[in-house]
């Protein structure tokens, strides 16, 4: 169980960092926020992978396709986050 949690955190950090590198613009996020972005992106990528391809984690937890899906999901979450954040921050000022 501890190994699963550590793997989830490491994959989340890597996916979040790659998503921040791929999305243009400045994202003022801490390391913990980047990790949370990657973890949420992993769930989004896994859900989209299941919806599109009807595959599950039957062949193991740690797969290269899962890492790619995590990065794609994190990019989607980051794009939504920056668009919603830009819209709400403009109203406050």
Over residues 23-58, the pLDDT tens digits come to: 988 888 889 999 999 989 888 887 887 777 766 656
Percent of the residues in the chain that have a pLDDT greater than 90, as a whole number: 22
- Worst-scoring range by mean pLDDT, 20-24, 48-52, 87-91? 87-91
Can you give the pLDDT at residue 11? 87
54: left (phi over 0), alpha (psi -120 to 50) or beta: left
Can you give the pLDDT at residue 9? 87
How far, in Å, CA of 6 to CA of 78, rounded?
Answer: 22
Can you give the pLDDT at residue 89? 58
pTM of the complete model:
0.77
């Amino acid at each position: 169980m501890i190994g699963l949690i550590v793997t989830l955190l490491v994959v989340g950090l890597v996916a979040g960092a790659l998503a921040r590198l791929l999305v243009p613009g400045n994202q003022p996020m801490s390391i913990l926020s980047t990790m949370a972005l990657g973890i949420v992106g992993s769930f989004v990528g896994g859900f989209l992978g299941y919806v599109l391809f009807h595959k599950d984690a039957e062949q193991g937890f740690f797969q290269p396709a899962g890492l790619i899906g995590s990065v794609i999901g994190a990019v989607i979450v980051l794009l939504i986050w920056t668009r919603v954040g830009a819209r709400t921050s403009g109203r406050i000022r």
